[in-house]
A and B are shown apart, each in its own frame.
Chain A
Amino acid sequence: MDPLADMGGAPGWGPVTAPTPDEPPFAEPWEGRSFAMTVLTMGRISGRNLDAFRYALERLDPVSYLADGYYGRWLNAAELMLQDSRILAPGAVDARARRLAGEDVEEPEFPEPEKPDYAPSGPGSLREVEGPPRFAAGDAVRTTTSPRPQGPSKLPGYVRGRRGTVTAVRPGHLLPDTHAVFQGENPQYVYTVGFDSAELFGDDAEPSTVHVDLFESYLESDR
């Protein structure tokens, strides 16, 4: 099953939010602090592994994902990553929060950290890839039909097993499928692939082209 985070094309979300001019970046002070803590502690775990952070977001239960909005989601994902690497014990945040609110609760002890033995080979997410790209702009491709892997994947469910045309070849990227779980950078070319809306959503879909950025291993030739 696709995680909740993979929501492209999903029905049932209702009307969109109307834009408001001059919306501040953070609606409340805690949102800014959640943002800063998440970004700044990420490097303490895994060398700023953004894919691991996004995978933590995907692993949240629906309430943790949705209930407290975008920065609540960040806060919960940061907490999950800190628990994964045993920097914090499960329940430590809630216990501290209750103490700060004046409740007399016992706090768990800090565990012995077990951070992943993993460091990125350089800054950022772009890498040189050995050899030429397999596809070129204009090539007909089809995305893999294999079921969604148990772990991380950046192939959105709504384009799985669909035919499209390569719009552009992008630079090599770390492969999130392995990088997000600290199992290697495995850089691959990324391709922007354009899909006709009818291919994705059926013949009565609103006419449009939807371009999606996809890793080479998600694609096969469709000649």
Chain B
Amino acid sequence: MTDAPARRPEPARRTEALESLLVERGLIDPAVMDKFIKTYEQDVGPLNGAKVVARAWTDPEYRERLLAEGTAAIKELGFAGPQGEHIVVLEQTDEVHHVVVCTLCSCYPWPVLGLPPSWYKDPAYRARVVREPRAVLREMGCEVPEGKKIEVWDSSSEVRYLVLPQQPAGTEGWDAEALTPLVTRDAMVGVATVTSPTEAGP
């Protein structure tokens, strides 16, 4: 019997080791790293996408531009950057439910949604949502009515997809500022719908 291969040090330790090696070679500056991490912890997140969605719900001309030229319309609100070179917006309707995945890695529209959540990076989601989207969505608490068509989008190039959810009933006439907090990250990937404050309940 052969011995099991020696376990590598824990990832936290290996990260610290790599950082110390790269600093020693002058290839990385910890202060630049700190700033970069902070940007993705504080500034680049799903609130950006929520603002885009709320604007589209309240401004029909913006909605039209957003669906025609996603990248440019998103840039109007100041959102652009890595993993957002070409963003296509998919509109949820009464007939069609869109859901987004990256089966090959975990590509995700960073400028509007930030870094991907655990479930999006999970092999189970990547493997299964292309084969059995309705079952996967049900497991995630999103029941797509029978008869509604499901379209799955596999982000296998540099095109990134943002889902424009349907505006919930009971919020007609609300302004963008009031609508923004209702829009969730999960709804903008297509694994949830946006619920009205009354539906959400206590």
Contacts and interface: CB of A to CB of B under 8 A. Distances in A.
Contacts of A87: 25, 27
SS of A interface (majority): mixed
B18 A35 contact: no
B156 A156 contact: yes
29 contacts: A6-B103, A7-B126, A8-B101, A8-B103, A16-B122, A17-B119, A19-B141, A19-B186, A19-B192, A20-B118, A30-B11, A35-B40, A36-B37, A40-B28, A41-B27, A54-B104, A70-B121, A75-B14, A101-B9, A126-B158, A156-B156, A170-B157, A171-B86, A192-B153, A205-B131, A210-B152, A213-B154, A213-B156, A215-B157
A96 B11 contact: no
A28 interface: yes
Contacts of B21: 88, 92-93, 96
Closest 6 CB pairs of A and B: A8-B103, A213-B157, A96-B17, A97-B9, A97-B17, A30-B12
A68 interface: yes
A94 B126 contact: no
B201 to A, nearest CB: 15
Place the interface of chain B in its size category: 35 or more
A5 interface: yes
Interface string A40-65: 11001000000000100100000000
B86 A170 contact: yes
Interface string A8-40: 111111111111110111111110111111011
Interface string A102-136: 00000000100000000000001110000000000
A37 B157 CA distance: 23
- For B9, B45, B125, B129, which residue has the most chain A Cβ atoms within 10 angstroms? B9
B139 to A, nearest CB: 5
Interface in B148-190: 149-159, 184, 186
A217 B86 CA distance: 21
Contacts of A126: 85-86, 158
Contacts of A10: 127
B157 A211 contact: no
A13 B128 contact: yes
Nearest to A101: B13
A25 B45 contact: yes
B14 A16 contact: no
